[in-house]
Structure 1
């Protein structure tokens, strides 16, 4: 049983497991927690809320103390608490070292910077295709850009037939929404009932006739000298299409939003491609596409004079760490595309669970901004945006924008 905490920093701190909390301004609460109670016990969760940059790095570096084997995101904690079935726990998200490393080897070499350089033309083709399909200079950016781009990139790399890409976007959207508590168990069951047989059919094709695609790579992969089971291959593909796309979707939304809120810097980005890589890193820091991940303590751990008990759940709030004043200075809340240390962010996690698709996500967004720069001199809002009600993703359900000369 974790100890109760005497510090109450805000009425909002009793809503960490409520998606509505993330529709407000959670950064006010995060800042208060960093100052007053950086290792905060949230009894209604129940879980610890960790908000400091150095503390999150420490926990991430010590999987022997804080495990991912049972929980990976806040949604897992909520489902465990409420007795709701969650996702399979034998995917890479739910593995600790050394098993985690063995399973990362399945695709690690396919997502390195060198490999991303080699497939840039494929990514560029998808970017051009998505932008060519825009209805004009005014459009809803989530539906037209953020959702299709990363899913279509992975569909192309996996070898999904082009005619099926729209179906895959739908399936992926349902799965990513479920991580933030936005889909019912019935919707999830119906989605998996369609998606799993579809992927099984593609996998069977690859076994009979291998191709030059990621699905063939996964189908032929081994762990400890043994081939992956058919279900493991299926879940690898789902991980790429859904979890692998979610960060990029949210990053695209955050980049476009930031450019509308900071039009001078947005115009600079569209005019000067050299600024884009740094802006991508700053957006990852400032926006933090995936707000948090979770761990479970394997033993009692002392952290900032608090005792985290064995079995306690721990929420690592990347969105807070990425605005920690001790790391980023007094202007941590500002979006600054020339920030020199932006790349030190934790948006892709840290240590063993660092996102395998980080290099690909960066490349997709860089190429998208460059493509938009060939079409416009600025970006502005074209209507009222609607934030997504999610405990996981920092994004929008609706982001109407307009490209201007």
Structure 2
């Protein structure tokens, strides 16, 4: 068959690159559901974008994620951006990435970079942080208690700050700089959101302007972490910043781009996705009243509650991969150099894997969600994210007497990483 026979309808394809459309979860998941049923491996051809294949089934997302030789992260943009934005980034950096580090690398380069910090984020190492994280979690619950009976924006005022404080503590960023890290993270991941983007004038900026804004955000990150690197080389401490400032791979220091990229990925992805998933967990508690008494009666269910919140949230909308050779998937011929969009939110609602996928069910065992990805590029901080969420709700649920919605959840306008921007709830905490 001709490639055109596999093309997605224009109105369906456009949702995949429309940040405003993706704030409507019902509309987004209706598109995913249609694709899984009718064109599970379709091709999107959208004006202003390079064509790309859209991977919507759990099995296909898993298989492609595991085949790191056939499908690369680093050969082209890892996120689906307009061609003009990618061209601006290439003209500025010499590659299709605003920075090129851990998540943008493949093969031995990726393995070596990942090995630098992997020990910090393994379960045995994280056990040492349990007490510190629990102290942070307790302070968050205390903050909720202070507003008893009043409406609180759990996403904006609570969920954002808990994982931010944890990861900055591990990285070695002082508390007084956390607001700056949060602002830069939002400007990077929510570059298309009119409330959070660097240029606050709306979503009408041109694709090339988007590329310029992203590069400006990265420049600010670079300026900050250059000072951190200089300090840790003179005054080493027991933190990840010291490790990265002095890191050597195969006898050679990291390049400046690799080092800054590493700082950036930990300082951004290390908290943003966890805050989104934590907010979705609170949304579930407010919307499904049977959950709270069940979790209070049996706290051993909290890890399952966390996993289901991660599946439901799927805060990373997508990552892109680039084929390194011709291959065939679901009867489609994928050519070398073709671009593929892995849709994690769709995979996590796949009816072949999850019974009643739109039902929030904490009894799923095993819960085979792909919120952290899978394979060689599985999220480095997955164990930390689960630990943070588990501890937060272990501290909150015994003290939470009631919670109810106080308005509609408002999502970040983003096609890449998105979660609740506002979640008004009314709760009683003792």
Regarding TM over 0.5, the answer is yes
CA contact (8 A) 1:91 1:232 kept: yes
Q: Report the Cα offset of residue 226 of structure 1.
A: 1.8
Q: Deviations over 1:367-403 (max 9, x none)?
A: 1112222431232212232122110224122111121
Q: 1:239/1:299 Cα in 2 relative to 1: closer, same or farther (>3 Å)?
A: same
Q: Report the Cα offset of residue 185 of structure 1.
A: 4.8
Q: 1:193/1:320 Cα in 2 relative to 1: closer, same or farther (>3 Å)?
A: closer
Aligned pairs (5 A) from 1:277-316:
277-316=303-342
CA contact (8 A) 1:57 1:350 kept: yes
1:62 correspondence with 2:67: yes
Matches of 1:72 and 1:83 in 2, distance apart?
10
Q: Deviations over 1:166-206 (max 9, x none)?
A: 22222222222238895555654554444322222122111
Q: Deviations over 1:287-325 (max 9, x none)?
A: 212121110111221111111122111001111111111
| Equivalent position SS for 1:40 | strand
Matches of 1:105 and 1:80 in 2, distance apart?
34
State the TM-score, normalized to the length of structure 2. Answer: 0.86
Matches of 1:81 and 1:215 in 2, distance apart?
30
The alignment yields a C-alpha RMSD, in angstroms, of 2.4
CA contact (8 A) 2:18 2:415 kept: yes
- Corresponding residue of 2:147: 136
Aligned pairs (5 A) from 1:72-151:
73-75=78-80, 77-79=81-83, 83-85=87-89, 87-134=97-144, 136-137=147-148, 138-151=151-164
Structure 2, unaligned stretches of length 5 or more?
90-95, 199-209
- Corresponding residue of 1:325: 351
1:337 correspondence with 2:362: yes
Q: 1:231/1:188 Cα in 2 relative to 1: closer, same or farther (>3 Å)?
A: same
| Equivalent position SS for 1:327 | coil
Structure 1, unaligned stretches of length 5 or more?
none
Moved more, 252-261 or 10-19: 10-19
State the TM-score, normalized to the length of structure 1. Answer: 0.91
May I ask how many residue pairs the two structures share in their alignment?
401
Q: Report the Cα offset of residue 4 of structure 1.
A: 1.2
- Corresponding residue of 1:20: 20
Aligned pairs (5 A) from 1:6-405:
11-24=11-24, 25=26, 26-44=28-46, 45=49, 46-71=51-76, 73-75=78-80, 77-79=81-83, 83-85=87-89, 87-134=97-144, 136-137=147-148, 138-178=151-191, 182-183=197-198, 184-185=210-211, 187-329=213-355, 331-342=356-367, 344-404=368-428
Q: 1:360/1:13 Cα in 2 relative to 1: closer, same or farther (>3 Å)?
A: same
CA contact (8 A) 1:388 1:395 kept: yes
Q: Deviations over 1:250-281 (max 9, x none)?
A: 21121112222212113423553211101111
CA contact (8 A) 2:121 2:383 kept: yes
Matches of 2:378 and 2:246 in 1, distance apart?
24
Matches of 1:89 and 1:66 in 2, distance apart?
20
Matches of 1:84 and 1:141 in 2, distance apart?
37
